[in-house]
Amino acid sequence: MAVGAPVAASAQPAVAPSVRGLPDFTDLVEMVGPSVVNIRTLERAGSVSSGTDEQMLEFFRRFGIPVPPGMTPRTPRSDRGGAEEAQPKGVGSGFVLSADGFIMTNAHVVDGADELIVTLPDKREFKARVVGADKRTDVAVVKIEASGLSPVRIGDVSRLRVGEWVMAIGSPFGLENTVTAGIVSAKQRDTGDFLPFIQTDVAINPGNSGGPLINMRGEVVGINSQIYSRSGGFQGISFAIPIDEAVRVSDQLRSSGRVSRGRIGVQIDQVSKEVAESIGLGQPRGALVRSVEPNSPAAKAGVEAGDIILKFDGKDIERSIDLPRLVGNTKPGNRSSMTVFRRGGQRDLTITVAELEPEKPQPRASAGEGSKPPAAPGAAQALGLALSDLSTADKRDLNLKGGVRVDSADGAAARAGLREGDVIIALANTEVPSVKDFEGVLSKVDRSKPVSVLFRRGEWAQYTVIRLGR
């Protein structure tokens, strides 16, 4: 190489990529810290029970930790002369929603409390009242008479990514303004009917409940709510309520003190891969309708047990848990569209959503009145099935148009899970109103392939698959 010739780019030493350091949370703490509060709950002496507080006090004594405010040893009732004094019940956390004193926390933090004391980071204390609490989502809103507070900034949960750093501020064991950090471990964890939780490895302990989960932009993305633990302490898995769901609930609590949810009156289950393939659905998706409540919106719309709900209001139902969330977030009285898969094809229905209320007990399946028709012999016996037609009383009690009762099950039918007392509604995606219809459908199916069976057991409908060649 000639002296002074430029060095080829390929000959230059490779530059190692820069290594990113661990995040610095100090600015976030200064930004969000003034918005996080401690919540102490008090209970009248008559209903106070010994337990958690005493255990916490012993923990603090043993390790020489100062006892948090409000967690004082309880005086025996006899020593107080019978006075009905409010005694400490528990501790939790919360965060400021508005400058005029609305605060969000968990419903279980305020549940059963006779008095609430909110302590701000500047040590000011206020008595609080519960504006509303929703146990289904574990969200509550309380109000203190204060002004000029520092509300949090609400983040966009859809932008939250697995592996992203997050931080929590709260009062574990009553130790106020405690900061912990970790990463988002997973999203859309199905641990509740109405909420897909955010899973993190942020250290959360008793007292953290109700505090904010904060992203690196200083925005609240969740409410720290639960831990997975076999010991009662933190074990590396914690759950937070997504803030978009919580805000939706809090808005209703602030406006009316309660949450109004939609309902359509069905009991559902997941769709297995085997069932999806056997009925021609392909991939397992949707929500399998196991029962339809009589006179419910679903019944009036024509939904039947065994239907698989694929869409609600134009939104796909990928997992069964998606349906109650979509329906629950629908305003009662709204007319919604719904697509169901039934007998190998799709049908579009229109349903008027009702308001969620305590479920009414459904009538159980009855053996019917009078003597049972004798079992009919035929091709069904090759499956190990003894079948009989339903009586008029059976159909009325079961709220069915037709079907055949299983009097005994053996062989392939027993291996598929069928048993005496089940009522078969459809075979190979075809309704079987009678034993004669069952035999006719069975004679036409391909015995080299599994065949789907829709049956009713008690008040529940479900699918199974019989392998005819076995």
Active-site residue, from 138, 322, 389, 394? 138
Which of 236, 256, 276 terminates a domain? The answer is 256
- C-alpha R_g of the chain: 30
Q: Are residues 52 and 108 in the same domain?
A: yes
Token code pair at residue 8: 């080829």
Q: Are residues 115 and 175 in the same domain?
A: no
Range of the domain at 125: 26-72+83-144
Q: Which amino acid is at 38?
A: N
CA 292 to chain centre: 21
DSSP label at 376? Answer: B
Q: Are residues 94 and 164 in the same domain?
A: no
Domain presence at residue 3: no
Domain presence at residue 314: yes
Q: Do residues 209 and 234 make contact, with C-beta atoms less than 8 angstroms apart?
A: no
Q: Are residues 59 and 91 in the same domain?
A: yes
| pLDDT for res 311 | 95
Q: Are residues 43 and 136 in the same domain?
A: yes
Classify burial at 5, counting beta carbons within 10 Å of its beta carbon; exposed 0-12, middle 13-18, buried 19 or more: exposed
Counted domains in the chain:
4
Q: Do residues 327 and 262 make contact, with C-beta atoms less than 8 angstroms apart?
A: yes
| pLDDT for res 193 | 58
Cβ count within 10 A of residue 238:
27
| pLDDT for res 390 | 87
| pLDDT for res 374 | 45
Q: Are residues 99 and 201 in the same domain?
A: no
Domain presence at residue 401: yes
* CATH code of the domain in which 429 resides: 2.30.42.60
Domain presence at residue 431: yes
Q: Where are the beta strands (DSSP E) in 175-218?
A: 178-190, 196-200, 212-214
| pLDDT for res 183 | 94
Which of 202, 233, 256 terminates a domain? The answer is 256
| pLDDT for res 162 | 94
| pLDDT for res 200 | 92
Number of H helices, E strands in the chain: 10, 27
Alpha-carbon distance 416 to 380, whole Å?
14
Q: Are residues 386 and 413 in the same domain?
A: yes
Q: Are residues 239 and 158 in the same domain?
A: yes
Domain presence at residue 361: no
Token code pair at residue 365: 């399946």
Domain presence at residue 273: yes
209 is catalytic: yes
- DSSP of 129-150, one letter per residue? EEEEEETTTTEEEEEES--S--
Domain presence at residue 363: no
Q: Do residues 128 and 39 make contact, with C-beta atoms less than 8 angstroms apart?
A: yes
User: 3-class DSSP state for residue 91?
Assistant: strand
Residues belonging to the chain: 470
Q: Are residues 252 and 269 in the same domain?
A: no
| pLDDT for res 76 | 46
Domain presence at residue 367: no
Q: What's the Cα-to-Cα distance from 290 to each of 104, 240, 303, 307, 458, rounded to whole Å?
A: 37, 31, 11, 8, 10
| pLDDT for res 287 | 92
Q: Are residues 230 and 288 in the same domain?
A: no
Q: Are residues 311 and 408 in the same domain?
A: no
Alpha-carbon distance 197 to 226, whole Å?
9
Beta bridge partners of 142: 103, 130
Active-site residue, from 35, 93, 185, 209? 209
Alpha-carbon distance 120 to 96, whole Å?
10
Sign of CA dihedral 340, 341, 343, 344: positive
Active-site residue, from 108, 114, 201, 388? 108
| pLDDT for res 421 | 87
End-to-end C-alpha distance for the chain, whole angstroms:
79
337 is catalytic: no
Q: Are residues 130 and 227 in the same domain?
A: no
* CATH code of the domain in which 136 resides: 2.40.10.10
Token code pair at residue 413: 């039918």
Alpha-carbon distance 259 to 253, whole Å?
6
Which of 256, 276, 301 terminates a domain? The answer is 256
Alpha-carbon distance 296 to 354, whole Å?
8
Long-range contact pairs involving 163-167 (C-beta distance under 8 Å, separation at least 24): 164/215, 164/216, 165/23, 165/215, 165/216, 166/200, 166/202, 166/213, 166/214, 166/215, 166/216, 166/221, 167/25, 167/28, 167/29, 167/202, 167/213, 167/214, 167/216
108 is catalytic: yes
- pLDDT per residue, tens digit, the chain (470 aa), is 444 555 444 455 454 454 467 788 999 999 999 999 999 988 876 554 444 455 455 444 544 445 555 555 544 444 444 445 666 677 899 999 999 999 999 998 998 888 999 999 999 999 999 999 998 889 999 999 999 999 999 999 999 999 999 999 998 888 888 999 999 999 887 755 567 889 999 988 888 889 999 999 999 999 998 765 454 555 678 889 999 989 999 999 999 888 888 999 998 888 988 888 888 998 899 999 988 988 999 999 999 988 999 999 999 999 888 898 899 888 899 999 999 999 889 999 999 999 986 334 333 333 333 444 444 455 677 677 888 888 888 888 888 888 899 988 888 888 888 888 889 988 888 888 888 888 888 888 877 778 888 888 877 778 888 877 65
